[in-house]
């Protein structure tokens, strides 16, 4: 496969803003800057797939969209045992992981920007307060919710209840939970912003063929191309960021699948390759000036890898549910999204509806299981309701992304190695979530509830965290490297701590805020 370009033609020797990655962060920064007249080269490692390419079929869709480059794992998390070469489930294509995200868009809570102050000292947790507050981000959350078209927000209507939600919400109500709804959710309940209403086809993780769900593929990237200021280069994977003798970054080397390495000159580089590839690229860009990796004077680059505390519950009933029909995650319970240490852990979690088809459910419901205990779960498929919990996991220094010492990818470059141990706080939270699921489903007549372990990570956070003090993190409050003024990180890697909420909305809000800062600094001539 060789690279393709679209939009404006920008000379490789012209130093422009170079953005690496076209997902929630990179795609948003590209649109925000090009709409302000700033020329941008957007490098996307994956191909330019569109709705016609996508398949309503789990395994073929996975093979088509997922980031399957070699990775290795270690640590006590079960993913390292069951899926040792698949630590994360993200997308390698134009639009990045926004092309398969589920859609839930809660905001972070105020205290989740101040966890060190609010949670206090927790053994083994590398907590830190963010250099910004919810108040700083609130206007950008408003803009992000407008971009994504979040339901239940700014006058937009809720999605209707699908079958899986009916079980989930009735259970929530019967156990005394109050904060349940079908959103907020980034898929249209009615036509909005040029996108049609959901047809409830049940396929989210395979790409939304109907185009009702927000992604940078359907919104930011085509609009950025329309400005005439964007050159999109797809199947173009960045392998190194270079810098000049003064220490400012000046170019990005990338491969477009051919024999030759290309280099694009840069005045600013924004890295948005997701929290595994972003630190990998910065580590691979080590130099004599940056011997431990680019912008790593703090030693925190690659550390504090977070993946959210997750787990699923699949409940079997006497009568049909057909959980696979309709928007997969259009159901949220927020009652446990609070900091209440009487539960035995810090931070909180959401519960959200979830459905997998039989093909995926068989592989993930209890990896390695067989026999009647396994087929009893599969036999109940039609009568099964499902949910997922997503909560704040503790940042730990030893949970990190490093460069493999011995495994190389097909370009001969070291693959990323992902190490993760659950913190005792994570384990206590997960067990609390499983018990909550038992109560919810039990109250509406479940015959049994299976506790499914975490899947390969869909939320990848931390690894380049923002900090007020350059000694504590990689980036300042704008996602700008403490060590390198014209280097930015624009994805979930920037998160100082992970909060409980699904991260896409916050990544978009932070990217909008960052782009506004970059544009202002460019017009002032200070960048």
Partner 1 sequence: MTAQDGADLSQQAPEQLPQDTAGAETAPAKSAKGLSARQRRLSIRLLRVAYPHDRFPDAPYERTAKRVEEATSDEELDSLAQGLDALDADGFMDADEDSATAALRAVDQQPFFRQIHSTAVVALYDDREVWDLLGYAGSSFEKGGYVSRGFDDLDWLPDPRITEADETRVEIVTDRAAQ
Q: Which is nearer to partner 1, 55 or 522 (CB)?
A: 55
- Please state the closest distance from residue 489 (CB atom) to partner 1, in A: 25
Q: Which is nearer to partner 1, 121 or 291 (CB)?
A: 121
Q: How far is CA 172 from CA 105, 331, 334, 440, 518, in A?
A: 20, 11, 10, 6, 44
Q: Which is nearer to partner 1, 372 or 524 (CB)?
A: 372
- Please state the closest distance from residue 251 (CB atom) to partner 1, in A: 25
- Please state the closest distance from residue 238 (CB atom) to partner 1, in A: 16
Query: Residue 281 has which token pair?
Result: 């690229």
- Please state the closest distance from residue 181 (CB atom) to partner 1, in A: 4
Q: How far is CA 209 from CA 214, 344, 408, in A?
A: 12, 43, 35
Q: Say how many residues make up the chain.
A: 527
Q: Which is nearer to partner 1, 100 or 267 (CB)?
A: 100
How far apart (Å, rounded) are the C-alpha atoms in residues 460 and 88?
A: 8
Q: Which residues contact 89 (CB under 8 A, 6 or more apart)?
A: 66, 455, 456, 457, 458
The answer to whether 25 and 508 have CB atoms below 8 angstroms apart is yes
Long-range residue pairs from 115-124, CB within 8 A, at least 24 positions apart, any chain: 115/346, 115/347, 115/392, 115/497, 118/339, 119/339, 119/346, 119/347, 122/346, 122/394, 122/423, 122/425, 124/394, 124/396, 124/423, 124/424
- Please state the closest distance from residue 346 (CB atom) to partner 1, in A: 9
- Please state the closest distance from residue 284 (CB atom) to partner 1, in A: 16
- Please state the closest distance from residue 322 (CB atom) to partner 1, in A: 7
Q: Which is nearer to partner 1, 359 or 471 (CB)?
A: 359
Q: Which residues contact 419 (CB under 8 A, 6 or more apart)?
A: 73, 74, 75, 305, 398, 399, 400, 401, 402
- Please state the closest distance from residue 395 (CB atom) to partner 1, in A: 19
- Please state the closest distance from residue 311 (CB atom) to partner 1, in A: 18
Q: What is the DSSP letter of 475?
A: B
- Please state the closest distance from residue 79 (CB atom) to partner 1, in A: 11
How far apart (Å, rounded) are the C-alpha atoms in residues 260 and 255?
A: 7
Q: How far is CA 428 from CA 69, 150, 366, 400, 432, in A?
A: 33, 31, 20, 22, 6
Q: Which is nearer to partner 1, 453 or 470 (CB)?
A: 453
Q: Which is nearer to partner 1, 65 or 510 (CB)?
A: 65
Q: Which is nearer to partner 1, 29 or 361 (CB)?
A: 361
Q: Could you tell me where the beta strands, DSSP code E, fall in 375-505? A: 384-391, 400-408, 414-419, 448-452, 487-489
The answer to whether 446 and 323 have CB atoms below 8 angstroms apart is no
CA-based nearest residue to 273, from 454, 488, 11: 488
Q: Which is nearer to partner 1, 119 or 130 (CB)?
A: 119
How far apart (Å, rounded) are the C-alpha atoms in residues 411 and 408?
A: 7
Residue given tokens 């609009």 in the structure block: 223
- Please state the closest distance from residue 115 (CB atom) to partner 1, in A: 11
- Cα–chain center distance at 160: 25
Query: Residue 6 has which token pair?
Result: 């679209």
Q: Phi and psi at residue 108, in whole multiples of 5°?
A: -70, 155
Q: Which is nearer to partner 1, 139 or 160 (CB)?
A: 160
Q: Which is nearer to partner 1, 25 or 386 (CB)?
A: 386
Angle at 108 between CA 105 and CA 113, to 5 degrees: 160
- Please state the closest distance from residue 323 (CB atom) to partner 1, in A: 9
Q: Which is nearer to partner 1, 15 or 360 (CB)?
A: 360
- Please state the closest distance from residue 11 (CB atom) to partner 1, in A: 29
Q: Which is nearer to partner 1, 168 or 488 (CB)?
A: 168
Q: What strands lie across the sheet with 72-74, from one edge to the other?
A: 72-74, 414-419, 400-408
Other beta carbons within 10 angstroms of residue 158's beta carbon come to: 14
Instruction: Categorise residue 274: left if φ over 0, alpha if ψ from -120 to 50, beta otherwise.
Output: left
């Amino acid at each position: 496969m060789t690279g393709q370009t679209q939009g404006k033609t920008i000379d490789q020797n012209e130093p422009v803003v170079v953005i690496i990655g076209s997902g929630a962060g990179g795609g948003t920064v590209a649109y925000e800057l090009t709409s302000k007249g700033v020329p941008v080269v957007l490098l996307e490692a994956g191909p330019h797939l569109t709705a016609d390419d996508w398949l309503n079929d789990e395994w073929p869709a996975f093979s088509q969209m997922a980031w399957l480059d070699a990775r290795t794992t270690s640590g006590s998390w079960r993913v390292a045992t069951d899926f040792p070469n698949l630590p994360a489930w993200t997308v390698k294509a134009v639009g990045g992981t926004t092309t398969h995200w589920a859609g839930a868009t809660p905001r972070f809570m105020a205290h989740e920007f101040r966890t060190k102050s609010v949670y206090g000292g927790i053994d083994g947790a590398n907590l830190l307060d963010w250099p910004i507050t919810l108040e700083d981000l609130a206007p950008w959350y408003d803009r992000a919710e407008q971009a994504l078209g979040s339901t239940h927000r700014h006058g937009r209507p809720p999605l209707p209840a699908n079958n899986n939600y009916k079980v989930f919400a009735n259970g929530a109500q019967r156990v005394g939970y109050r904060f349940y709804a079908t959103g907020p959710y980034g898929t249209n309940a009615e036509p909005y912003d040029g996108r049609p209403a959901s047809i409830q086809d049940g396929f989210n993780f395979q790409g939304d063929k109907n185009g009702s769900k927000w992604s940078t593929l359907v919104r930011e990237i085509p609009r950025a191309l329309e400005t005439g200021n964007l050159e999109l280069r797809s199947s173009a994977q960045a392998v190194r960021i270079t810098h000049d003798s003064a220490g400012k970054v000046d170019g990005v080397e990338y491969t477009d699948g051919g024999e030759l390495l290309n280099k694009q000159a840069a005045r600013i580089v924004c890295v948005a390759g997701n929290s595994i590839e972003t630190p990998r690229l910065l580590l691979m860009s080590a130099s004599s000036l940056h011997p431990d990796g680019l912008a790593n004077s703090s030693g925190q680059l690659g550390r504090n890898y977070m993946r959210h505390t997750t787990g699923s519950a699949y409940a079997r009933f006497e009568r049909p549910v057909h959980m696979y029909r309709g928007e997969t995650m259009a159901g949220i319970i927020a009652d446990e999204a609070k900091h209440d240490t009487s539960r035995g852990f810090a931070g909180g979690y959401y519960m959200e509806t979830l459905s997998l088809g039989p093909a995926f459910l068989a592989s993930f419901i209890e990896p390695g299981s067989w026999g009647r205990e396994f087929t009893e779960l599969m036999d109940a498929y039609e009568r099964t309701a499902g949910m997922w919990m997503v909560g704040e996991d503790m940042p730990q220094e030893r949970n990190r992304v490093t460069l493999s010492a011995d495994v190389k990818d097909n370009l001969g470059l070291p693959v990323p190695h992902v190490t993760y141990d659950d913190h005792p706080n994570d384990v206590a939270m997960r067990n609390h979530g499983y018990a909550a699921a038992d109560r919810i489903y039990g109250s509406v007549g479940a015959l049994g509830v299976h506790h499914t372990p975490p899947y390969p990570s869909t939320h990848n956070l931390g690894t380049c965290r923002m900090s007020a003090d350059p000694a504590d993190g990689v980036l300042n409050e704008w996602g700008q490297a403490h060590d390198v003024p014209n280097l930015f990180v624009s994805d979930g890697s920037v998160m100082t701590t992970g909060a409980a909420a699904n991260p896409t909305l916050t990544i978009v809000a932070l990217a909008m805020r960052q782009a506004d800062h970059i544009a202002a600094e460019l017009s002032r001539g200070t960048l």
